[in-house]
Structure 1
Amino acid sequence: MIDTYPSVTGNWNFPTKIRFGAGRIKELAEACGAAGIERPLLVTDPGLKPLPMIAEALALLEKNGLAAAIFADVHPNPVGADVELGLKAFARGKHDGVIVFGGGSAMDAGKAIAFMSGQTRPMWDYEDREDWWTRADPKGIAPVIAVPTTAGTGSEVGRAAVITDESDHTKKIIFHPKMMPVDVIADPELTIGLPPHITAATGMDALSHSLEAFCSPFWHPLAQGVALEGMRLCKEWLPEATKRGSNVDARAFMMAASSMGATAFQKGLGAMHAMSHPCSSLRGTHHGLTNAVVMPYVLVHNQKAVEEKLTAAARYLGLKNQSFNGFVDWVLALREEVGIPHTLKEIGVDTDVIPEAAPMALEDPCSGGNPLPMTRGEYETLYAKAIEGKLA
C-alpha cells in the first residue's frame, strides 16, 4: 500500500480552504472568526443532535464568545420545508453565518439556508438550469463553515444543495458559486462512530462521484486526475474503514476520497445519480446506497462509451484483470465485501416505481452527463434490470 505518510493531516486551499486531520475540530471557533461569523446557526440532523460531538462543538463556540444556536429539523433527504424552517430559525436568532455539521442531508439543508438567507425569490428559481444562478443576490448569501461527519457526499466542497421539491417529489439542485463553504474542518475522528453499513453506503457514494466524473464525456483534465486518484483511495481504504472503523488513517483517506469525488464531479455525473435521485424522493432510499446498487448496471449499459477509460482505470488501480470486465468484476466484489445489496428490490424499490421514476431520471440534470444519451425506455429497462438483478 503506497499511502504511508508521517501524518495524515494538512492545510489545503483546493477547492476551498480545508483544515484536514484528526483533532482539527478544535479549530471551529477560529474558523468562525476567520469567516467573520459571530452568531452561527449550527445545522445538523436529528440523529447527530444528541451526540457528544454536537454538545462539545456548541460548548467550544460558547467558550469563545460566539452566540450559537442549533437547528436539526432536517429529513434524511432534505425537503423545501426543512429550508423554510431553517430560514425562520436563522432570522429569529439574527445569525450571520451557518455551520453545517453532519452528512449530506445536513450539508444540503444548511447550505440552502445560508444561500436563501438574503434572497427574495423562491428557492426553486435558483435551480441549476441554464444561468438561473445569476438571479441570486450574492451579497445575500451567508458564509458557511462545513464539518463533515461522513465520508461520501463531499458536499463540504460543493457549490450546490440537493433539495426535494414536495410539490412534484423531484430532487432539485440549487446552485450558486458562493454556496461553496468558506472553510472546511475535515476531522476523520468525527466519522469513527459511523456503523459499518453507513460507512459502506457513504463510501460507495464517494466512489460513484469519482467514477461517474471519470466516465463523463466532458473535457476537464484536472477533474479527471482527481477522479482517478479518488477511485484508488476508495479501493484501498473503504473495506478497511468498513471492517475496522476505529482505524483513523482509513477514515482519513476515505474522507479525502469523499472531498475528491465532489471536486471531480464538476466534470459531470450520469445515469447512476439520475436513477438514484427518483428512488430517494419516491421511496426514501439512502442516496449513496442507491448509487452503489445501480452502479454495475449503469456501467454495463455504458460499456461502448467507457470501455477504454475503465480499462485505463483498471490499470491504474492495479486490478488483476485490467479490462472493462475486470473493472466491473472489481465493483461487484467490492460491493459484496462491504455488504451492499445487489438489487433495488432489496432496498425497497419495486417495479411499480418504474413508470414514475424513468421520466424523472431522464429529466434529472445528471442525466445529461451520462457517456451515452439516455431515453425514457432505456431508463425503464435499467430500472427493471437493477430491480431484478439482471446485469446482462
Structure 2
Amino acid sequence: MSFNYFMPTRILFGKGQLSNLHKQKLPGKKALIVTSAGTSMKKHGYLGRLEEQLKIAKVEYVLFDKILPNPIKPHVMEGAQLAKDSGCDFIIGLGGGSSIDSAKSIAVMATNEGDYWDYISGGSGKAKPVPNDPLPIVAITTTAGTGTEADPWTVITNDISNEKIGYGYDKTFPTLSIVDPDLMMTVPPHLTAFQGFDALFHSTEGYINVVANEMSDLYALKSIELLGKYLKVAVNDGSNEEAREKVALANTLAGMVEWLSGCTSEHSLEHALSAFHPELPHGAGLIMISEEYYTFFAKSGACDKRLVDMAKALGKLDAKEPMDFVTELAKLKKACGVDELKMSDYGVNLEELDKIAKNARETMGALFNCDAAQLSHEDVVEIYRKSYK
C-alpha cells in the first residue's frame, strides 16, 4: 500500500455556497475574473452574484471574458497581461473547466516572463521550470465535468500548432473552490451529458491507470457509482436538485482521482481530436471513442477485475466479464441521449485519423505509459476508425 496524498484546496460544497464567498479569507485585494466569451454567466446572474460577493468583501476586480470552450494560448497570454497591467493579486475562474483551466494558466503567466508554451512539457513545449509562483487561484465551477476545482491540471490548446496539452503542478491547485449545485441548474441536457461523461472517464481512467492506489480507488468507484445512478436523471430533468448535487459531488471526486491517479491515453486520443476540431466539445469526443477504447482493454485481459468492478459500480451488480463494463457504458450513453454522436458532424473525416493518432502520441504521449495494456499507433487508428460515424 503506497500513495502520496496532497490536497491544498479548501472546498466549499453545497447548495448556496457562492453566498459564503465574502466570508472567506480571500488571497488578495484585487482579482482578475476569468470567464467565458458566452453570455450564460451574465444571463443567469452568476457573474452578478460573484461581483456582489466581492463588493461585500471589499475586493476590487477586473473582468476578462474571452475564454472559448476549448481555451487557447493567446487568451492565456492576453489575460496574464491584463492581470499584470491592472495590478491583480489573485485570479478567479468562474464557469466550466475552460474558464477555470484558463485561470490557472493565466495565474502562471501573470508572474512569469516568456511564452506559456515555454513551460509546457510535451509536443513543442520547452518544459522549462516555472521561476515564480503563480498568483493564487479561486475556482467557482458552474458545471460538473472536469473536476478542475479539485486538481492542479489545466488544458490549453496552442492554436498555431494544433497541440492540446495538459499541464499543472502543486502550485496550480486552487486555494479555494466553490462547488454550488445551484449554479449548475441551468446547464442544458446535452452539455450536462457531455460534462458528466467527462467526469465519468476521469474516474474510469483513474481506476484502470497503472498508478492507481487505495485513495484514488475509493474516490473513483464512488464517482462512477454516483454518475451511474444520477447522471441520466440530471440530463433528463435538469431541475432535479438531488441529481445535480450528486453529479456535482461525483465530478469533484473525479478531480481528486485525476490528481491521486490520473488519466490514461483515452484523454490523449480526445485531445488530438479537438485540437484539430476545436468546435468538438471535449466530453462529446470522449463519448464517441469510449466504447471502442474500453473494448480494447476488455479484450486485452490486462485489467479484467477492474473493468468488472467498474461495471458493478455503474449499476450491473452481477457483472462477471470485462465487457460488462462496455455494455453498461453503452446503456448509460443511450439513457443520456448521446449514443448517436458523430465525428463527421464536427468536421472529422476518415482521411485524417492517422494524422490525429500521431498528434495524440506526440503531444500527450506520457499518458500512454499509464495504460494497463500498450496501444500501438495502429491500435489508436483502429479505435478512431471503429468509432467513426
What's the TM-score once normalised by structure 2's chain length? 0.90
CA distance in 2, matches of 1:15, 1:306: 32
CA distance in 2, matches of 1:71, 1:188: 24
CA distance in 1, matches of 2:132, 2:303: 39
Query: Partner residue of 1:143?
Result: 136
Query: Is 2:284 the partner of 1:276?
Result: no
CA distance in 2, matches of 1:187, 1:328: 32
Query: Partner residue of 1:8?
Result: none
Amino acid at match of 2:333: R
Which of 252, 260, 267 is 1:259 aligned to? 252
Contact residue 128 and residue 175 of structure 1 kept, 8 A: no
CA drift of 1:317 comes to: 4.2
Query: Partner residue of 2:30?
Result: 39
SS of the residue corresponding to residue 66 of structure 2 reads coil
Amino acid at match of 1:339: G
Of 146-155 and 51-60, deviating more is 51-60
Query: Is 2:372 the partner of 1:371?
Result: yes
Amino acid at match of 2:228: K
Which of 305, 308, 317 is 1:308 aligned to? 305
Give the alignment of 1:146-225 within 5 angstroms. 146-225=139-218
C-alpha distance after superposition, 1:244-273 (max 9, x if no partner): 111122111111111111211231322321
Contact residue 271 and residue 370 of structure 1 kept, 8 A: yes
RMSD: 2.1
**Structure 2: gaps of 5 or more residues:** 1-5
CA distance in 2, matches of 1:264, 1:128: 21
CA distance in 2, matches of 1:143, 1:94: 13
CA distance in 2, matches of 1:315, 1:114: 40
Query: Partner residue of 2:3?
Result: none
Query: Partner residue of 2:286?
Result: 291
Query: Partner residue of 1:5?
Result: none
SS of the residue corresponding to residue 140 of structure 2 reads strand
Contact residue 101 and residue 146 of structure 1 kept, 8 A: yes
C-alpha distance after superposition, 1:88-139 (max 9, x if no partner): 221222100011000011011111001211112422222246xx87711343
CA drift of 1:79 comes to: 0.8
CA distance in 1, matches of 2:313, 2:234: 21
CA drift of 1:298 comes to: 0.4
For these two proteins, the number of residue pairs brought into alignment is: 373
CA distance in 2, matches of 1:256, 1:92: 37
Contact residue 269 and residue 370 of structure 1 kept, 8 A: no
Which of 320, 326, 329 is 2:327 aligned to? 329
CA distance in 1, matches of 2:198, 2:36: 19
Query: Partner residue of 2:351?
Result: 352
SS of the residue corresponding to residue 135 of structure 1 reads coil
C-alpha distance after superposition, 1:267-326 (max 9, x if no partner): 132232111101111112100111112111100011122222111233344415503222
Contact residue 266 and residue 286 of structure 2 kept, 8 A: yes
Of 180-189 and 309-318, deviating more is 309-318
CA drift of 1:67 comes to: 0.8
SS of the residue corresponding to residue 36 of structure 2 reads coil
CA distance in 2, matches of 1:208, 1:324: 16
Amino acid at match of 2:328: W
Of 170-179 and 263-272, deviating more is 263-272
Contact residue 315 and residue 328 of structure 2 kept, 8 A: no
**Structure 1: gaps of 5 or more residues:** 1-12
Amino acid at match of 2:388: I
CA distance in 1, matches of 2:314, 2:68: 36
Change (3 A) 1:316 1:258: closer
CA distance in 1, matches of 2:136, 2:373: 38
Query: Partner residue of 1:67?
Result: 60
Contact residue 276 and residue 291 of structure 1 kept, 8 A: yes
Query: Partner residue of 1:9?
Result: none
Query: Partner residue of 2:240?
Result: 247
Identical amino acids, percent of aligned pairs: 26
CA distance in 2, matches of 1:235, 1:82: 36
Contact residue 225 and residue 315 of structure 2 kept, 8 A: no
C-alpha distance after superposition, 1:339-372 (max 9, x if no partner): 1144433444221321320101123233322222
Query: Partner residue of 1:50?
Result: 42
Of 119-128 and 53-62, deviating more is 119-128
